[in-house]
């Protein structure tokens, strides 16, 4: 059953038992987020060190939720005295998943899960051990996605408050953590491709990974 269908069914059921209900669309988005986080956690649990990546993900989740809790007490709009490139401007964001819709997130999510399943099997066969860099990067993404999913499920929206370029771009800590994690993963991928093109015999570091603690 798709997140879209689950979200549609859950909303009226929760209303009947007196639980504060957000829109079915927000529930769908939250479910998609939790599924994405779960998929990444499977890789981290199998190829990483739990104490390390779990601590990073939990730190991102807690910091994001704490800052949003503080921001919710402030009035919406730019705060006087915060001018220039970086501004502090609390605002509720009801858009779903990078400005898209829950339905629009389902296809890329399912595609990514299918590709991850194939990649997982190959990594197991090669006895891959994830580097600290990759663990940290993925943990940032997990903490961010989980925190955003919690926002959607609990409130139906998320609180953005860090504005760049006179409000043209508005983010929160989870957004920044996710972008940093993706940038780090991209840098890692570029480095591996460059090593491969340079003729390195083991560009993915698998031989060394088998010996790594």
pLDDT tens digits, 28-82: 778 878 888 898 999 999 999 889 999 999 999 999 999 988 877 766 555 555 5
pLDDT value for 1: 46
Q: Indicate the pLDDT class of residue 210, thresholds 50, 70 and 90.
A: very low
Identify whether the C-beta of residue 161 lies closer than 8 Å to the C-beta of residue 172. Answer: yes
Query: Which comes out higher in pLDDT, residue 6 or 88?
Result: 88
Query: What is the span of the domain harbouring residue 67?
Result: 3-211
Could you give the CA distance from residue 161 to residue 171 in angstroms, rounded to a whole number? 6
* pLDDT in the model for residue 26: 73
40: tokens are: 């990444």
3-state class percentages of the chain: helix first, strand second, coil last, to nearest 5: 65, 10, 25
pLDDT band at residue 207 using 50, 70 and 90 as cut-offs: very low
Radius of gyration of the chain measured on its C-alpha atoms: 19
Higher pLDDT: 142 or 193? It is 142
- Please, which contacts does 201-208 make with residues 24 or more away whose CB atoms are closer than 8 Å? 204/128, 205/131, 206/126, 206/127, 206/128
In the prediction, which pLDDT does 130 show? 87
* pLDDT over 70 (residue 182): yes
Overall average pLDDT of the 79-105 stretch: 60
pTM of the model: 0.74
Count how many domains the chain has: 1
**Percent of the chain residues past pLDDT 90, beyond the cut:** 17
Rounded CA separation 138/183 (Å): 11
What would the pLDDT profile of 167-180 be if each residue is shown by its tens digit?
Answer: 567 788 998 999 99
Confidence of residue 107 (pLDDT cuts 50, 70, 90): low
How far, rounded to the nearest angstrom, does the alpha carbon of residue 172 sit from its chain's CA centroid? 12
The tens digit of pLDDT for each residue in 132-169 reads 998 999 999 999 999 998 988 887 778 888 777 665 67
E-strand ranges in the chain read: 86-93, 158-164, 169-171
Total residue length of the chain: 213
d(CA 120, CA 104): 25
Distance separating the N- and C-terminal Cα atoms of the chain: 40
Phi, psi of 168 (to 5 degrees): -65, -30
Q: What is the pLDDT of residues 21-30, one digit of tens each?
A: 556 677 777 8
Residue 204's SS3 state is coil
Which residues are CB-contacts of 89 (< 8 A; sequence separation ≥ 6)? Answer: 77, 78, 79, 82, 161, 163, 167, 170
pLDDT at 146: 93
What's the confidence (pLDDT) of residue 79? 58
């Amino acid at each position: 059953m798709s997140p879209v269908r689950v979200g549609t069914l859950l909303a009226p059921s929760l209303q009947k038992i007196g639980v504060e209900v957000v829109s079915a669309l927000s529930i769908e988005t939250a479910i998609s987020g939790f599924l994405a986080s779960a998929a990444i956690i499977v890789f981290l649990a199998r190829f990483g060190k739990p104490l390390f990546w779990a601590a990073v993900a939990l730190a991102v989740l807690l910091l994001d939720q704490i800052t949003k809790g503080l921001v919710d007490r402030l009035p919406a709009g730019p705060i006087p005295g915060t001018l220039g490139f970086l501004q502090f401007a609390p605002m509720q964001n009801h858009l779903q998943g990078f400005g898209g819709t829950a339905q629009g997130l389902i296809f890329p999510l399912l595609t990514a899960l299918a590709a991850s399943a194939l990649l997982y099997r190959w990594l197991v066969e090669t006895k891959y051990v994830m580097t600290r860099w990759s663990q940290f990067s993925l943990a940032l993404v997990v903490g961010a996605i989980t925190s955003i999913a919690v926002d959607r499920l609990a409130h139906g929206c998320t609180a953005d408050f860090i504005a760049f370029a006179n409000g043209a771009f508005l983010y929160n800590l989870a957004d920044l953590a996710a972008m940093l994690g993706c940038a780090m993963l991209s840098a890692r991928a570029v480095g591996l491709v460059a090593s491969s093109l340079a003729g390195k015999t083991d560009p993915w570091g698998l031989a060394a990974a088998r010996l790594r603690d």
